[in-house]
Amino acid sequence: MLKRQIPLAIVFLTGMATLFGWFVDNVVFETFVNDTATQWFDIIASFAMILGSLNLLRVQGEKVLRRKRNWIYSIFAIGGFFFSITVGFLFRGANYVEISDLGPNQGAISEVIASAENIDPKIAAVTLSLVEENEVFEVSRIFITESGAKQLVDDLNANGAKAEFKSKTWGGHILEKGTLFNWMFVYLFTPLSATMFALLAFFVASASYRAFRIRNFEATLLLISGIIIMVGRVPLGSLISPWFVLYLIVLGGGIVSNSYFKDVKRTFQITTGGILVVTIAGFIAGWSPDSIYFLSFPVLQEWIYSVPNIAGSRAIMIGIALGMVGTSLRIILGIEKSFLGE
Amino acid sequence: MKSKHVLISIGTFAILFAAYWWFGHPFFKEGREVMFISIVSLSSIILYYIAEANNGAKIFLRAIPGLKAFEEAVGRSTEMGRSVLFVPGIMDMDQVETVAGVTILGHVSKMTAQYETPLEVPVSRAIVMEASREIVKESYLSQGRPDLYNDSMIHYLTDDQFAYAAGVDGIMLREKPAACFYQGKFYAESLILAETGNSIGAIQIAGTASQAQIPFFVTTCDYTLIGEEFLTASAYLSQKPSLLGSIKGQDVGKLIIMIAILFTVVFNAFHDLGWVQYDIKQFFTAN
C-alpha cells in the first residue's frame, strides 16, 4: 500500500505546489517552483545516470560474454564508455607550459614556441614582444601527454627561459581546447553526431517524395502548397511574374474542370477562354506585376504560411494544451496511476 | 464521488475564491487572473465529467484508427515472429508527453505479454528506464506472464539525442522489429527513426504532442496520434470510466474555447467597425 500511496501523495503535493505556485506572489513559492523543484529533479536525474550507465554496461557486457548476435558492436560501446570515463574523470590530458621569464634570447624562444604551436615564428615573436616584464606567459598549446609538455619546458629552459610544466584543473580540462576530452569531443563525438544529423537532409527528401505523391485531393493540395512555399522562399520566386502564376491558375482550372465534367471539348473551351482573358487583361494592364501583385509567389507563400498553416497549427496546439491539462490533472489527482505500474 | 458533490465542491471553491478576491486577494499574482480562471474552470469541467462517468454515464468515444491499430501491430509482430520496438521519446519524466508515452507502454506491454511477443524498449533517460520497467513488469504480471519479463527488455542507451537515434536505428536494422511505436516527446531525431523504421518495412505507430514533429511522423508512419489523441490514448486503451470522463471534459472545454473564439472574432469585428468601444484583445493580451 505504501508503495502506491506515498508516491501518489508526493505527486499530489508537488503537483499542486507547482500549479498554484504559478499564481502565488510569494518569493518562497516562486523560488520553489522555478529553482528548487527543478534542482531536485536535476539531482535525482544525475544519480539516475549511474543506474543508466550500469545498465548499459550490463546489457552490452552480457552480449559480449554470451557471444550474442552482433556482439562485436558491444565491444565498441563498452570501449567508448570506458574511454569517455577515463578522459573525463581519470586522465586529464591537459598539460601546458608557463614561462615566468623569457630570458635574453627571445628570438630562439619564439622559434621554439612557434614550432610547438605550429605557427609562424614572426607571429610568436610579436606575441612575445607584447608580454610585459614579470608577466607570466602561458603557451597556448595544450599537451595531451606530460612528456610533450616536459620536452617543451626543456627546450625553453635550454634557451635561457624559465619555463614550468603545469596541468589544467580538474573540470577545466573539459572546457579547454586541445585536451584529450576536447579531442574526443571534436574529432569523434561531433562528426558522429553531425553524420546522424546530416541524414535528416536525405530523409526529408524521401519523406517529402512520399508526402507529395498525388494520391488524393489532400495530397494534391499539399503538393501545390509545398511548391508555392518552396518557390516563394527562394530569390527566383520573386522574379516570376504574377501573370505567369495567373496562367498556371487557368491551366489548373482546366485540370479541375476536366476531372469534374470529363468533357474534352468543355475543358478546351474553359482553358482557351481563360488564357485569352488573362492575355487580354495582361495587355490592358501593360503586363505590370504590380496590378496583380497578390498573385506573386512571395505573397502567396506568405499567405499560406501565416493564415491556413497558423490556423491549423493553433488548432492542434489548443488540443495539445487541453490534453496536457487533462493528463496533468489525472496524474496530480491520482486518477491516472499507470505511470506507477498500476 | 457523485457529480452532485463535485458541483457542490466547485461552487464552494468559487464562493471562497470570490470572498478572497473581495478582501483584496493578497498573494495573488497580478495579471494571471484569466489563466487561473481558465485552468480552474477547465479542471472543474473535467472533474465533473469524471464523476459523471464514474456514476455510470455512457461516454462515446469516436474511433481513433491509430489506437485501434495497436493490437494489429502487435499481432503482426507475433505472426512474423519478430519483436515489437517501443520508443518512449528522448525526454525525461518531467515532461507530460513522456509520462503519456510510458503509460501507453503499459498497454502495449500487456498485449506483448498476452501474445508472447518479444518487446524491446531502448530509453534515453535512466529515470524513464526505471519507470518503464516498473510498468512493464506490472503489465506482464497482470497478464499472468511474469516469466516472460526480464529487465533487459528496457535498456538504457544514451542521453544524447543523435547517439540515441543511432542506437535505435542500429537496433531496428539488426533486429528488424515488425512493429515500431514512437510515443513520447521527440525532436529532430523523429524523422531519422521513422524513416529507418519505414525502410525495414515495420508497421509504425507514432504519437506525440511535439507539434513540429507531427508532419514527419504523418509522412513516414502508418498511423499517427496527433496531439491530444496521443495524450488521451491511455484513457482510450484502458476504457476506465474515470479516464474516459476526463476526455469528455476536455472535449467540452474545447467546445467552450471554440465558442469563445467565435465570440471574440465577432466582438472584435464590432470593435473594428466602431460599434463597440471595448477592445476585447486587451483582455487576452493583458492577462
Tell me the pLDDT tens digit for each residue of A225-256.
999 999 999 999 989 999 999 999 999 999 88
Q: For the purposes of burial, counting CB atoms within 10 Å of the CB of A206, is it exposed (0-12), middle (13-18) or buried (19 or more)? A: middle
Report the residue of chain A nearest B39, measured CA to CA.
Answer: A325
* Range of lowest pLDDT (A131-145, A289-303, B91-105): A131-145
Percent of chain B with pLDDT over 90: 75
Q: Which three cell numbers stand for residue A218?
A: 489532400
Instruction: Identify which of B138, B159, B177, B137 has the alpha carbon closest to the alpha carbon of residue B89.
Output: B159
Residue given cell 505573397 in the structure block = A299
Strands A162-167 and A95-101: antiparallel
Tell me the pLDDT tens digit for each residue of B163-213.
999 999 999 999 999 999 999 999 999 999 999 999 999 999 999 999 999
Alpha-carbon distance of A258 to A268, in angstroms, equals: 9
Fold of B65-231: Rossmann fold (3.40.50)
Q: For the purposes of burial, counting CB atoms within 10 Å of the CB of B90, is it exposed (0-12), middle (13-18) or buried (19 or more)? A: buried
Strand runs labelled E in B167-281: 179-183, 203-208, 223-226
Q: How confident is the model at residue A1, as a pLDDT?
A: 64
Report the residue of chain B nearest A74, measured CA to CA.
Answer: B167
Strands B119-123 and B84-87: parallel
**Where do runs of H (alpha helix) occur along chain A?**
2-21, 27-31, 37-65, 71-85, 106-117, 121-129, 146-158, 172-175, 180-184, 190-212, 217-232, 235-239, 242-261, 264-285, 297-306, 308-332
Cα separations (Å) of B269 from A306, A311, B284?
Answer: 20, 18, 16
Residue A341 has pLDDT above 70, yes or no: no
Interface subset of B 189-248, CB within 8 angstroms of A: 189, 191-192, 195, 209, 211, 214-216, 218-220, 226-228, 230-232, 234-235, 238, 242-243, 246-247
Residue A133 has pLDDT above 80, yes or no: no
| Gyration radius of chain A's alpha carbons | 34
B39 has a chain A CB within 8 A of its CB: yes
Task: Compute the count of residue pairs across chains A and B with CB atoms less than 8 Å apart.
Answer: 185
| Region(s) of chain A under CATH 3.30.1390.10 | 93-175
* Range of lowest pLDDT (A256-260, B220-224, B258-262): A256-260
Q: Which three cell numbers stand for residue B23?
A: 478582501
**Can you spell out the DSSP letters for A266-295?**
HHHHHHHHHHHHHHHHHHHHTT-GGGGGGG
| Residues paired with residue B276 on neighbouring β-strands, in sequence order | none
> pTM above 0.90?
no
| Region(s) of chain B under CATH 3.40.50 | 65-231
Grouping H, G, I as helix, E, B as strand and the rest as coil, residue B26 is coil
- The complex's ipTM? 0.88
Q: Do A338 and B250 touch (CB under 8 A)?
A: no
Q: What integer best gives the mean pLDDT of chain A? A: 89
| Residues paired with residue A167 on neighbouring β-strands, in sequence order | A95
Residue B239 has pLDDT above 70, yes or no: yes
- Residue A59 is nearest to which of B103, B155, B247, comparing CB atoms? B155
Fold of A93-175: Ribosomal Protein L30; Chain: A, (3.30.1390)
Alpha-carbon distance of A331 to B103, in angstroms, equals: 11
Residue given cell 522562399 in the structure block = A233
- Residue A56 is nearest to which of B36, B156, B214, comparing CB atoms? B156
Q: What is the mean pLDDT of residues B117-131?
A: 95
Q: What is the mean pLDDT of residues A254-282?
A: 92
Q: Which three cell numbers stand for residue A193?
A: 553526431
Strands B84-87 and A162-167: unpaired
